[in-house]
Chains A and B, each alone.
Chain A
Amino acid sequence: MVALVESPTIFDTEDRLARPPRPWSAVRLRNVAWWRGIVLVLTGAFFLVPLFAALRFSLENFTGGLTFSAFTAIPSQLGFTAALSLSVRLAVVTTAITLGLMVPTSVYVHLRLPRLKPIFDSITIVPIVIPPVVLIVGVLQVAPTFLKSTPYLLALEYTILAMPFVYRSLDAGLRAIDLKTLVEASRSLGGGWRSTLWRVIVPNLRTGILSATVLTIALVLGEFTMASLDLYQTIPVWIYQFAQDDGHVSTAVSLLSLLVTWLVLMVISSFDLRRIRRMAQIRRGA
């Protein structure tokens, strides 16, 4: 007992409790903020310097002056419109196929096969680790004949490629809702599977679906290897090929495609952002 009372640890603890907060904690915070700033600047430079260099290069004329001619010349370049159109169509078709397949599948796995979820998690990773050429050969083996001679074969390949990202987005969305109870509530009220999926699950899975859509579109608009191996001229393939003819225009197209993709993603994301803001407003009102 005596030893305990005389223990320096107890005095030390009491002393620490009595002491005011250490003055150097503010300094430490400032240090942390400083390091954060450094990391932010370096990361920003890593992304922005190449973009700035590309912009500078695309705006330069032969005499070293600035001109927009590389941008204004884009629409008249041979093959550009067709490549853009193909990329957009592939993005739409791939998104439709991916969501059409993955939404019901993810819901089914969550509802009926929860014990098999780890297996599905593993399976959906496979497209990331398999080389594109193997995926192409695999898709060619199973694709319907009428598709093999059309660029929409790429949509099937992209569907497989997008699967890991889409599955995870939907999985996160499904984890956020009490799926089983919502489905049972809907069914007890007379809702069939289609009504339940369309009126109850999809609206509550909106964030997951939007994020899956964003990822799929970004993937399709930027994918090069498969389109190139399949000999279809999507925007990335066109940019690569055209770069050998006119580097300035090719760089301008790269920048524009980046900007357009970014805008599309912002527009899609804003659907959910608007809903979140509306909810927040309602909450504040309440």
Chain B
Amino acid sequence: MTTTARHHAPGTEHSGAGAGAGATVQLTGLHRRFGATQALDGFTLTLQAGELVALLGPSGCGKTTALRVLAGFETVDSGRILVDGVDQARIPAQRRDMGMVFQSYSLFPNMTALDNVAFGLRMRKVASQDRRTRALEQLDLVGLAPEASKYPHQMSGGQQQRVALARALAIEPRVLLLDEPLSALDAKVRVQLREQIRVLQTRLRITTLFVTHDQEEALSMADRVCVMRAGQIEQVDTPSTLYSAPATPFVAEFVGTMNRIPGTITDDGRVSLLGTEVDIRTAVGSGGGGRASGTPVDVLVRPEGLAVTPSPQGRGIVMTTTFLGSITRLGVLLDQDVMVYADLSNAAVAIPTGSAVEVTLTERSVMVAERTGERSATEKAPTLERPQQA
């Protein structure tokens, strides 16, 4: 990291408290409507200094709008945006001191990598030599110093996004905004770059808001993940909490793969499914707890919470076998056309598709949600006829 003095956008009062350590961001009660679409509906989120928060959600949930509002590219109908306690309402985008990396390649095509990185410093009237030194430092930081004289069209997509990251970091922003910066890259480069971003962000302690629709990206990079739906926040939590204790059925099914298996509340307040009775760990969604005996519910079980054993009398039929590297995921069709997925270690998989199997629960407590009639969080059961069992 450079040791030279920080240069902020002209006309910006910088609080100083967050200098070099990121700023605290408070988004409070943001509302934004585009025609008939309510993009943000009471969106409230706080980012602590140096924290990386991922906005995760399906397309059209408002995550990019939230980021653009913070960047100053969109206005809000109501609500407040505070950065280190300073209201940003009247501060234009160019004075907000926020570095941004875009989804599409956003390098200026007429400039070399070095000039691109130096652009923000030039706008801050940093002296030519200092500008060059600092731009080279940033390029070095992302491992692209040897490519300094190349134009964007001479670089690969991954290199361009790294230059874009260096360009955003060169101005030593108070907040770093990442708008799906990895979505245009191939899988391998994506993994490399996301690790690089995380390392740099942790090292520089820049408060970062990261928009993505890729849950793997969000869970692997973020300190906290904010799951959004229809302009509202469903849950903000650490990745592990989101996975293990989702607050709503939507979060449960959006984060990771989740099976939805029909069950029934028993007399003693437990739940019965797959021929066994287990405790209710969490009742997600409205009215989760205190259900009357006999109430039909959906039990939410992760694929790793199910065990599959070959059995001629089994009630399930293996429909799909998907190799996922360290594990294999079996798709099993149960009674009532319920499709469930179970993860098995590769060593344990010797069950061909079409086999009759018994599916059992390995967890002693489960999450329950209201019965929706939807069969699976991820996919509907294929409309295939069940093979005749011997």
Q: Hey, which bits of chain A sit against chain B, CB under 8 A?
A: 177-178, 181-182, 184-192, 195, 199-200, 203-204, 206, 279, 282-283, 286
Residue of B10, B97, B119, B153 with most partner-chain A CB within 10 A: B119
Q: Which residue of A lies closest to B7 (CB)?
A: A190
Q: A200 with B108: in contact, given A190-B124, A191-B123 (CB under 8 Å)?
A: yes
Residue of A181, A185, A203, A283 with most partner-chain B CB within 10 A: A185
Within 8 Å of chain A (Cβ to Cβ): is B151?
yes
| Residues of B contacting A203 in the complex (Cβ-Cβ under 8 angstroms) | 108, 110
Q: Is the CB of A189 within 8 A of B167?
A: yes
Beta-carbon contacts of B75-115 to A below 8 Å, as 1s and 0s?
A: 00000000000000000111111111010111111100000
User: Smallest Cβ distance from B144 to chain A, in angstroms?
Assistant: 14
Q: A188 with B119: in contact, given A177-B109, A181-B102, A204-B108 (CB under 8 Å)?
A: no
Q: Is the CB of B108 within 8 A of A187?
A: no
Seed contacts A182-B108, A283-B154; 8 additional CB < 8 Å A-B pairs: A184-B106, A185-B108, A185-B167, A187-B92, A188-B100, A190-B95, A195-B123, A282-B154
Within 8 Å of chain A (Cβ to Cβ): is B9?
yes
Q: Which residue of B lies closest to A178 (CB)?
A: B104
Can you identify 5 A-B contacts, CB atoms within 8 angstroms? A182-B108, A188-B94, A189-B167, A190-B123, A283-B154
Q: Is the CB of B102 within 8 A of A185?
A: yes
Within 8 Å of chain A (Cβ to Cβ): is B158?
no
Interface size class of B (residues with CB under 8 A): 35 or more
Q: Is the CB of B94 within 8 A of A192?
A: yes
Q: Is the CB of A188 within 8 A of B123?
A: no
Q: Which residue of B lies closest to A286 (CB)?
A: B154
Q: A181 with B106: in contact, given A188-B71, A188-B100, A189-B167 (CB under 8 Å)?
A: yes
Q: Complex: how many Å from CA A199 to CA B116?
A: 11
Q: Is the CB of A182 within 8 A of B171?
A: no
User: Smallest Cβ distance from A185 to chain B, in angstroms?
Assistant: 4
Q: Which residue of A lies closest to B102 (CB)?
A: A181
Residue of A178, A187, A283 with most partner-chain B CB within 10 A: A187
Q: A190 with B171: in contact, given A185-B100, A282-B151 (CB under 8 Å)?
A: yes
Residue of B93, B98, B124, B167 with most partner-chain A CB within 10 A: B93
Q: Is the CB of A186 within 8 A of B119?
A: yes
Secondary structure call for the A interface: helix
| Residues of A contacting B73 in the complex (Cβ-Cβ under 8 angstroms) | 184, 187
Q: Is the CB of B93 within 8 A of A187?
A: yes
Q: A188 with B108: in contact, given A283-B154, A286-B154 (CB under 8 Å)?
A: no
| Residues of B contacting A189 in the complex (Cβ-Cβ under 8 angstroms) | 94, 99, 119-120, 123, 167-168, 171
User: Smallest Cβ distance from B360 to chain A, in angstroms?
Assistant: 47
Beta-carbon contacts of B113-131 to A below 8 Å, as 1s and 0s?
A: 0000001100110000000
Q: Which residue of A lies closest to B119 (CB)?
A: A189
Q: Complex: how many Å from CA A181 to CA B110?
A: 14
| Residues of A contacting B6 in the complex (Cβ-Cβ under 8 angstroms) | none
Contact with B150, one of A191, A195, A199, A286 (Cβ below 8 angstroms): A286
**Which 9 pairs from chain A and chain B are nearest by CB?**
A189-B120, A190-B123, A203-B110, A188-B100, A185-B106, A187-B93, A190-B9, A286-B154, A181-B106
User: Smallest Cβ distance from A286 to chain B, in angstroms?
Assistant: 5
Q: Is the CB of B153 within 8 A of A283?
A: yes
Q: Complex: how many Å from CA A251 to CA B153?
A: 49
Q: Complex: how many Å from CA A178 to CA B99?
A: 19
User: Smallest Cβ distance from A188 to chain B, in angstroms?
Assistant: 4
| Residues of B contacting A283 in the complex (Cβ-Cβ under 8 angstroms) | 153-154
Contact with B168, one of A186, A187, A188, A286 (Cβ below 8 angstroms): A188
Q: Which residue of A lies closest to B151 (CB)?
A: A282
Q: Complex: how many Å from CA A187 to CA B119?
A: 11
User: Smallest Cβ distance from B345 to chain A, in angstroms?
Assistant: 45
| Residues of B contacting A186 in the complex (Cβ-Cβ under 8 angstroms) | 108, 119
Q: Complex: how many Å from CA A185 to CA B92?
A: 13
Q: Complex: how many Å from CA A181 to CA B108?
A: 10
Q: Is the CB of B94 within 8 A of A191?
A: yes
Q: Complex: how many Å from CA A190 to CA B123?
A: 6
| Residues of A contacting B120 in the complex (Cβ-Cβ under 8 angstroms) | 189-190
User: Smallest Cβ distance from B177 to chain A, in angstroms?
Assistant: 8
User: Smallest Cβ distance from A260 to chain B, in angstroms?
Assistant: 31
| Residues of A contacting B100 in the complex (Cβ-Cβ under 8 angstroms) | 184-185, 188
Q: Complex: how many Å from CA A283 to CA B155?
A: 10
Q: Which residue of A lies closest to B96 (CB)?
A: A188
Q: A188 with B104: in contact, given A195-B123, A286-B150, A286-B154 (CB under 8 Å)?
A: no
| Residues of B contacting A188 in the complex (Cβ-Cβ under 8 angstroms) | 71, 93-94, 96, 98-100, 168, 177
Q: A184 with B102: in contact, given A191-B119, A282-B151 (CB under 8 Å)?
A: yes
- Residues of chain B in range 156-176 having any CB-CB distance to chain A below 8 Å: 164, 167-168, 171
| Residues of B contacting A200 in the complex (Cβ-Cβ under 8 angstroms) | 108, 110
Q: Which residue of B lies closest to A181 (CB)?
A: B106
Q: Is the CB of B153 within 8 A of A190?
A: no
User: Smallest Cβ distance from B120 to chain A, in angstroms?
Assistant: 4
Beta-carbon contacts of B167-196 to A below 8 Å, as 1s and 0s?
A: 110010000010000000000000000000
Q: A182 with B106: in contact, given A188-B98, A190-B95 (CB under 8 Å)?
A: yes
Q: Which residue of B lies closest to A193 (CB)?
A: B94
Q: Which residue of A lies closest to B173 (CB)?
A: A188
Q: Is the CB of B93 within 8 A of A184?
A: yes
